[in-house]
Structure 1
Amino acid sequence: MTSMSPECLTCEHNARIGSLPPRERVAADEHWRVAHAFGTALPGWLVLVPRRHVTAVADLTDAEAAALGPWQVRLSRALRDVTGCAKTYVAQFAEAEGFAHVHFHVVPRMAGLSPDLRGPRIFGLLGADGVTTAERDRLSVLIGERLATALGFAIGRDRAARRGG
């Protein structure tokens, strides 16, 4: 990570990745960190964020861009395995006040989801608390373990976090 913004919550979390709770560090590598979204009524709603401060997709480095697609596929597979979702939605806006840092929503779409909430209307479930902190942590650990198993190594936890610091 080469740049950070002191006013950015995502950058603040990236700077202390080793001490974050499971919901804020589902998995990470040198370019990306995965968190479970807060303020959502949908269990398993993930957010994929660059480890450096960047506010536009066009400003991703080639290395960040090369890792982006595999991350989205891996997360979609892990969500399918852990939540049983029928498919995932992937979206990127980074327009909300205080959330200009590029981030990708990777959202599980369950088979029985009401047609009123399908497609972009899924965002009606964001901003509405419903998934407890404990449930977000529980799912984050399961998803992180699934990623580690699928990849054959411990991508689910940053090395510093595994050492306790």
Structure 2
Amino acid sequence: MTDSACYSCAEEQRSSMERPEAAIWISDEWRVAHAMGCALLGWLVVLPRRHVEGIHELNGAETAELGPLLRDVSQALVEVLGCAKTYVVMLAETPGFTHVHFHVIPRDTNLAGELRGTKVFDYMRRPQSEWVPLEHQRDLALALRESSPFEGPSVER
């Protein structure tokens, strides 16, 4: 099921070949993409492939895959970017973005204190001139696909 007014559902319908940063990893249940309109390289979102607006709506297969996937996405970011850890946040409150999506945010060892914790969302409010260029998102997508957490038969490329 998709929602025509939902950005995430619209992106689900687009070709992963057209926008590799929008489909870093895909399974039957989940898609991993680079966040749009963001000034932090590696800010990823993990989204169910069907439209759900609350965690309580996830089915058994989605639920079973979610924990290991969040771990693997975090491990891949640590491996590829060398970040200290990741933040994982799910809100889904912005109009047009109520589709469940988990933000997986790399927290660099040098991240300024005023940007740590929930203050990291400042990167989503930066002007377009500071957003991560698509070519950098695409380069990262390719590197993440080749990282050890995503190697294996469950990865669709």
TM-score by shorter chain over 0.5: yes
1:80 matched to 2:78? The reply is: yes
Q: 2:56 aligns with which of 52, 55, 58?
A: 58
**Deviation (angstroms), 1:7:** 1.3
Counterpart of 2:103 in structure 1 is 105
Describe how 1:2-21 pairs up with structure 2 within 5 A: 3-21=1-19
Uncovered stretches (5+) of structure 1, i.e. residues with no partner: 158-165
Provide the residue aligned with 1:163 in structure 2. Answer: none
Matches within 5 A, 1:1-165: 3-128=1-126, 129-146=130-147, 147-149=149-151, 152-153=152-153, 155=155, 157=157
Q: 1:148 is aligned with what amino acid?
A: F
Contact 1:8 1:101 in 2 (8 A): yes
The aligned length equals 153
1:92 deviates by 0.2
Counterpart residue identity of residue 32, structure 1? W
RMSD: 1.4
User: Aligned AA for 1:95?
Assistant: E
Using the size of structure 2 for normalisation, the TM-score is 0.92
- The code of the aligned residue for 1:86 comes to A
CA distance in 2, matches of 1:102, 1:81: 26
Q: 1:118 to 1:132 in 2, by over 3 A?
A: same
What SS does structure 2 have at the residue aligned with 1:67?
helix
Cα distance between partner residues in 2 of 1:76 and 1:56:
22
Give aligned-pair identity as a percent. 41
TM-score, with structure 1 as normaliser:
0.88
What's the secondary structure of 2:146's corresponding residue?
A: helix
How far residue 5 of structure 1 moved from its aligned partner, in angstroms, is 0.8
Q: 1:154 to 1:66 in 2, by over 3 A?
A: closer
Counterparts of 1:20 and 1:62 in 2: how far apart (Å)?
31
